[in-house]
Chain A
Amino acid sequence: MLLEISDLEVEVEGKKILKGVNLQIEEGETHVLLGPNGAGKSTLFMTILGFPKYEVTNGKILYKGQDITELETHERIELGLGVTFQNPPAIRGVKLKDLLKIVDGKHDYKSEDDLDDEVIALGERLKLNEHFLERDVNLGFSGGEVKRSELLQLLAQQPDFIMFDEPDSGVDIENVELISNEIGTLLGQNAENTKKAGLLITHLGYILNFVNATHAHVLIDGKIVRTGEPKEIMDNVRTSGFGEI
């Protein structure tokens, strides 16, 4: 089991948001997380990442068999967690390229020049040119650029378990395909026996035409109320909304 969450209860600023979440994800699987606005989907991601504001009041998170519930965020990242944010902050003066180089530089086989070249090549895969990489991260990025820049950072990072928080929202149809391909690559979906796994939040579902999801869950009011086959659940949500589930 790559990720195992049991009885997870989480409070944010004294308010209970997650009310007993159970979730198991094996290597090679890609799970989709559906649910209405405010259900707690992003909260689950932030909790898995270990952000201090998200207080675990019950339950635990096991990753690669290790209890990570009390670890600091950067320690979890070292173990192979990765995330794309729904609404990442802009940071003035911190260039996307510098950030990519720090993240990618952790794979220590590269010379400075190689690293530079690789970062630029990665950018091109996501249609973010060298000039774009010189910009301050997320500062004035368009909605679609934010999402591509998030993915680009993961390409540099190469995590084993990846959480995607609405990677498709605000992205035009053409770019959804581009993004989906890179998500597929990150998850090793083209390789046999990939050891990677993902958890993806989406409202639109269109992305599921390109990303190969194995399971779907519906989170409502801090609880997973249904789990099943992605297409079936998505269709169900599309026709009857979350109310009927």
Chain B
Amino acid sequence: MVSIKDRAEKALNKKAAIGEDIDLDEYETMDVDAYEHVDSLEDLDKSDKDTLTSVGMDTTEEERSASFLQMDQSELLAKVMYPGIEVMSTPQALEKYDWLSDYMWNAMAVDADKYTATTELDGKSGYFIRSLPGTKMELPIQACMYIGDDSVRQTAHNIIIAEENSEINIITGCSTANHVKHAAHIGVSEFYLKKGSKVTFTMVHNWDKEVDVRPRTAVIMDDDSTYISNYILTSPVQNIQAYPTAYANGDNTKVFFQSILAGKEDSQIDQGSRTILSGNNSQSEMITRAISDDESTIITRGDLLGKSQDVRGHLECMGLILSDDSKIYSVPELRGECTNMELSHEAAVGKIAEDEIQYLMARGLTEDEAASMIVRGFLDIDIKGLPDELAKETKKLMELSMEGM
């Protein structure tokens, strides 16, 4: 048998199916013990804490059930405050659990592209989150990927396992430190949702103008499980390409992908979501709201594949173009492979309607205030499936991300 390492070596120069090719050698890998551990997020510098807060981290950790922080390639903090969940670095988890190796590169192929391959070969990184059977934890687990130095190439291999009938909420924030301009981030996340489990995964990205980002996410779902993904990107980035895929293998599964994308300056954003509906009576809803400003380009992709009976899927992409030099491309795909199912999509791209601006101006708002109110309204999608508190918090997070828009 060919080893994982060999497959990774072979794929090291393999371009991704989509997205601009990034020269990863431009960046430096960092040592796993480049930084000291911390006991709490409170121990970080004020400027780092502010950045973390902006991507949804609660640095007091009071409203969280667990915290994880990876700075460049080093794990700085892995702390669990409540029973029923496990959070640690992936290398640590591999030492602890023999069986974990079966989950590595199972949802995602190690040789999918150079980014997965590099993640394997750079090694020794990422988080492991596991909820034990029957655990219902409302307080979110927070995990942060942080780039603290210039020209760093950060990789992370994350494994998330929700055991039977467990429910967890994860908030992940990914960001560069204030002084970091140029960096690369590759995050591989493999999710395993066992029977009856439910995972909400809210991810906020706040990169910088010269940061290349390649998340690689796959979710494997057993019967009666629910996966909810909320993705928020409202700050400039150099180039990001992601196409998370949910494999709804079990019966009666539910998948929601919701993405809010704001393209600024010359950001290149290529963000998709895909659900493969292969269990019976499963459903997926994938919603994207995109606004493009300045010279940004946004490509939003959606792919629904219905392979089994009684599945339903809906894809929705709404784009608002704010500047003449920006672009939005919407690429929806529906693929039906059996009789009894329903897949639909809805897409619209346009500019802010003049009559809406005027209506608000007739109530006393200036043109800018009116435009900003319309844009915020446009991006304000109802977040489904979250517990009340978390829904409120996610709303707040979105508002925070949208400040100054």
Interface residues of B (CB under 8 A from A): 353-356, 358-367, 373-374, 376-380
Contacts and interface: CB of A to CB of B under 8 A. Distances in A.
Interface residues of A, number: 25
Contacts of B373: 94, 98-99, 102
A197 interface: no
B363 A136 contact: no
Contacts of B355: 89
B363 A153 contact: yes
A62 interface: no
A94 B363 contact: no
A83 B365 contact: no
A51 interface: yes
Interface string A65-90: 00000001110011000010100110
A174 to B, nearest CB: 27
Contacts of A83: 362
B356 A91 contact: yes
A94 B365 contact: no
A73 B356 contact: no
A113 B201 CA distance: 34
23 contacts: A72-B366, A73-B358, A73-B361, A74-B365, A74-B367, A77-B362, A83-B362, A85-B359, A89-B355, A91-B359, A91-B360, A91-B374, A92-B377, A93-B378, A93-B380, A94-B373, A94-B374, A94-B377, A95-B377, A98-B373, A99-B360, A103-B363, A157-B364
A77 B363 contact: yes
A93 B366 CA distance: 19
A124 B364 CA distance: 23
A78 B377 contact: no
A98 B359 CA distance: 14
Chain A at the B interface: mostly helix, strand, loop or mixed? Answer: mixed
A157 B379 contact: no
Contacts of B360: 91, 94, 99
A88 B365 CA distance: 16
Nearest to A85: B359
A103 B374 contact: no
A73 B362 CA distance: 6
A91 B365 contact: no
A53 B357 CA distance: 13
A51 B366 CA distance: 12
Nearest to B373: A94
B359 A74 contact: no
A77 B379 contact: no
Contacts of A72: 361, 366-367
A102 B356 CA distance: 16
Of B353, B355, B364, most buried by chain A (CB within 10 Å of CB) is B364
A238 interface: no
A189 B376 CA distance: 39
Contacts of B364: 74, 77-78, 102-103, 106, 157
Contacts of B378: 92-93
